[in-house]
Structure 1
Amino acid sequence: MGSRSRTLCLATMGLWVMTLAVAGWFFVTGWTTKGADGRTEILLAPVERDQILAEMRQLLKAVDGVVRSLGEEQPNLQQAEAAARAAGMQMAVDTSPAIMAKLPLSFKQMGLSIHKDMDALADAIVKKETPQQILQRLSSMTARCTTCHDLYQFGAGK
Structure 2
Amino acid sequence: MAEEQKVLTVNIVTPSGIVYDHHATLLVVPAMAGQLGIMANHEPIITPLEIGEIRVKRTDDPAREDAIAVNGGFMEVSHNVASIVADSAERARDIDITRAQSAKERAQNAIKTASEHNDTDELRRAQIALQRAINRINVKNHLL
Q: TM-score when scaled to structure 1?
A: 0.29
Q: TM-score when scaled to structure 2?
A: 0.31
**Higher share in helix:** 1
The higher-RCO structure (CA 8 Å, 6+ apart) is: 1
**Higher share in strand:** 2
Q: Which is higher, the Rg of structure 1 or of structure 2? A: 1
